[in-house]
Structure 1
């Protein structure tokens, strides 16, 4: 196959890996070099359907020694196998950058030979880009479970971000759908990467000029819907990963039924609405001071697909409402549906000088259509009454949202 034919196959095969990002690094350009990774983001182009296409997102190979039941690249699947050599990948990256197609590289791979051998090839690509080509752009590569820590440490010296994909949220699911992988093999490199990142950050305080170790941190991906875990289980796992290995992001990927298997769910379309609810809940974990137990208690282990997780929490805890907008603490303001981080900060700043009225709240960015049911302004209540949360829920599900909900539900219809 010629190079462009290989590119077509491997770029298409990479679309199922969503743990792809293109910002968070502070890597600066150097004299004589090309490319620059900025903390503010390096995205420069978006496709018609909203995808960022600033990174060359590709697999090194779709060959794989593993036989994961859900994966299109599994060993037993009869597909055309393609491999890009390190020199070919480096040439593609530099050529695409010079043509202003991309500003960075997201490189994943099937496992060829062994995790160590695959990682050695990834290291070779990263070194060729950084040292020979003097490429200072963004590089995101895979930390492969089972790889020797010496190799992971070497790879981390040249890339901006590593991702070790969790893929399935429990040991039982791994045994059922990916028996060659174990939870321990996945968590071990995550912990090692976190330790190295923390160690290098502490050393940098003492030594000014020190080579960074994955300055953009690490991420992971979990497939949603391929196994039977409740949403609560997935969210609790994400919470633990944020706390214990300081992940930058957990990416959730609705299971795409590209393969058939006796242990795979019989669905026609990916559970996209469930994926969306997980991202919303993940945002609450990282920025709104919620815990997984609050968002999804044991008695309600799955999301209500009709309303977002924050609104669902407020309706389930309606006895703490309404809160007085001129007196509530910042943390409590964040728990009001329709009040975001920026609007909560504006409320705190504004009320130091003047009491807030219902009308003046509009200027702080509050979405009053939702917030009015859970707040009072100067003692006045403008909602439908918190004695009937079901009535409030119905009012919050607008005709526009109901239409979207029906469309997504039809799109995700089960076989």
Structure 2
């Protein structure tokens, strides 16, 4: 093996893969067996797991050659960049070698399109198959499904990968036609529908036959690029909600457009999407999936854009002051979940704890409630911290000022350490 050439390929294809954010290993339960290599773990690519552990995974493209000319993609066929391609065996060897050196816990593998969808997908599947069958590798594998690939290849991919994902690219079909006219939205939807069917069928088979093979145990996800076209946050979240409901997705990932290419259809190179917008979309997504919010409660025709100054839950609360204050000792779980400063676990603890005694501010602090936010929206077994007769705008200003003061204080503390 030519080490220098492999290193050069790795530099090129790992750099090209950084624009793909739709990867996460949470949800898989692949166990090490027969003295194999690795265990699938929760988390991916220098991300943090639910228990706070930082994990990593080899994230590369099989190739950055591509037959498509998508305006937003650095690997577009008309872009003058250095091209490279791994062989199947090279990716397998890299994964095993990196794992044995404890650099990674798994593999995220995507690709440009070589000749056509099946030709490319077949090579992605061969990588996963070799790792599983020849090296007994039980670490996490996420394969990017190629739109237009055959159902046979998709089915085989699901037998070896923990998660599969098909990128929607743009939030709307109109946006896709504008920036990637060679691509067909239906080619993306068909494999997502197929994966949904196979995952549900596999779950039923596992109930009947314990030794039935797993099929994509961590489910499927997708990614949309935000800011390359003019869709509002409402359109982005409505699209995400549609795919959550109709395709049983585990996650939708939001990738702020990075201006790396000059094209009259794209925003100017100096107009990158603010990172805070991407963050607000993830927060809104979390509210939809875990807090019982509907899209039109977070964003709607009157408020199509998320507030960049404050998080979506606080923004909703300020627009709906008529439902507050909430009596923390009487309100149901869904209403408590809507209170700014109260997270999912804290809300569950509140409902459990109040069975034994009425809760006051000290108890709420111990549970983990952010009193500096929640005090504007709740009552409890004490009046000490309650703030009343304030408009939504007043509350917003107070909370923003408090957050800014806390940021300055923390920064000063860090500086004093040096």
TM tier relative to shorter chain: over 0.9
Using the alignment, how far apart are the partners of 1:309 and 1:46 within structure 2?
Answer: 23
- Counterpart for residue 189 of structure 1: 191
- Counterpart for residue 274 of structure 1: 277
Shift of 1:183: 1.9
Picking from 368, 371, 376, the partner of 1:373 is 376
Picking from 235, 238, 262, the partner of 1:236 is 238
Name stretches of at least 5 consecutive residues in structure 2 with no aligned partner: 409-418
Using the alignment, how far apart are the partners of 2:306 and 2:272 within structure 1?
Answer: 19
What is the DSSP-based 3-state SS (H/G/I as helix, E as strand, rest coil) of the residue aligned with 2:347?
helix
Q: Does structure 2 conserve the Cα–Cα contact (< 8 Å) formed by 1:130 and 1:158?
A: yes
Name stretches of at least 5 consecutive residues in structure 1 with no aligned partner: 406-415
Q: Number of matched residues?
A: 401
Using the alignment, how far apart are the partners of 1:53 and 1:225 within structure 2?
Answer: 29
Using the alignment, how far apart are the partners of 2:98 and 2:364 within structure 1?
Answer: 48
Deviations 1:344-388 (Å, cap 9, x if unpaired)?
A: 112112211111122322111110100000011247484443551
- CA 1:20–1:46 in structure 2 vs 1: closer, same or farther (change >3 Å)? closer
Deviations 1:269-288 (Å, cap 9, x if unpaired)?
A: 33211100000001101110
Output aligned runs, 1:93-242, within 5 Å. 93-242=95-244
TM-score by length of 2: 0.92
Using the alignment, how far apart are the partners of 2:234 and 2:47 within structure 1?
Answer: 33
What is the DSSP-based 3-state SS (H/G/I as helix, E as strand, rest coil) of the residue aligned with 1:229?
coil
- CA 1:403–1:375 in structure 2 vs 1: closer, same or farther (change >3 Å)? closer
- CA 1:293–1:381 in structure 2 vs 1: closer, same or farther (change >3 Å)? farther
Using the alignment, how far apart are the partners of 1:297 and 1:389 within structure 2?
Answer: 19
Output aligned runs, 1:48-127, within 5 Å. 54-127=56-129
What is the DSSP-based 3-state SS (H/G/I as helix, E as strand, rest coil) of the residue aligned with 1:253?
strand
Does residue 398 of the first structure (1) align with residue 401 of the second (2)?
yes
Does residue 329 of the first structure (1) align with residue 301 of the second (2)?
no
Deviations 1:63-114 (Å, cap 9, x if unpaired)?
A: 0000000111000001111000001111111111111111100000001100
TM-score by length of 1: 0.92
Deviations 1:154-199 (Å, cap 9, x if unpaired)?
A: 1111110001011101111111101111221111111110110000
- CA 1:256–1:389 in structure 2 vs 1: closer, same or farther (change >3 Å)? same
Output aligned runs, 1:404-415, within 5 Å. none
- CA 1:404–1:238 in structure 2 vs 1: closer, same or farther (change >3 Å)? farther
Q: Does structure 1 conserve the Cα–Cα contact (< 8 Å) formed by 2:121 and 2:153?
A: yes
Computed over aligned residues only, the root mean square deviation of the Cα atoms, in angstroms, reads 2.1
Deviations 1:189-242 (Å, cap 9, x if unpaired)?
A: 111101100001101111110111100111111111111000011111111111
